[in-house]
């Protein structure tokens, strides 16, 4: 199909009267759309909860483990009895 033929075919389709839509499609679309929105909302909440839990776990670890403090040297004997 060349460009002119395609354009003519599209024009014919657009000039036709739209076909009637069966009424049961509307209710089915509403049901599916509502379900999709609920799933998306649930997934978004779960991801925020996971992010919050990960942030909390990292904060607790950073406070208790103190990763920035140099560990004590174990090669030098302790100086006691001086």
For residue 23, what pLDDT band results from cuts at 50, 70 and 90? confident
pLDDT at 55: 98
- Whole-prediction pTM value? 0.55
Helices (H), the chain: 3-15, 23-65
Are 63 and 56 in contact by the 8 Å Cβ rule? The answer is: no
Q: How far apart are CA 27 and CA 33, in angstroms?
A: 10
Structure tokens at 9: 């075919």
pLDDT at 2: 66
For residue 44, what pLDDT band results from cuts at 50, 70 and 90? very high
Max CA-CA distance within the chain?
Answer: 103
């Amino acid at each position: 199909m060349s460009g002119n033929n395609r354009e003519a075919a599209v024009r014919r389709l657009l000039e036709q009267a739209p076909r009637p839509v069966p009424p049961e499609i509307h209710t089915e679309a509403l049901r599916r759309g509502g379900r999709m929105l609920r799933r998306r909302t649930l997934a978004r909440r779960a991801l925020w909860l996971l992010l919050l839990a990960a942030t909390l776990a990292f904060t607790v670890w950073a406070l208790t483990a103190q990763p920035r403090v140099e560990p004590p040297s174990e090669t030098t004997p302790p100086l006691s009895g001086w």
